[in-house]
Structure 1
């Protein structure tokens, strides 16, 4: 699939090019990697949030039912 991004600030484009060059990859490969990393991070944060909610529910249940923590 092809995605086009228009009207990107020249400074941002230069920075992307520099970062890609540092890694020894193309601009395309760099942007693909960063996009996938962003999506992966979001998924991890969602899982973390869900786990924290579950832990808090368990703590509340234990308090309500006088179960020692």
Structure 2
């Protein structure tokens, strides 16, 4: 599943995405999403059938925006 940011609707922002999908949407490496989680910047909103974390797309995009250009 590829996420096209420009084509998102408000309903799409509530969808749950995997770590890899979250990273793709935010334009970062999956390890960055894992670091955000370990640092408390983002919390999973659910788990998949293998107990891997799922994140709300809106939370991922807000986290990415909040970490952009920080020094």
TM-score by length of structure 2 reads 0.28
Which one has the bigger strand percentage?
2
Structure with higher Rg: it is: 1
- Which structure carries more helix by proportion? 1
Q: Relative contact order (alpha carbons < 8 A, sep ≥ 6): 1 or 2 greater?
A: 2
TM-score (norm 1): 0.29
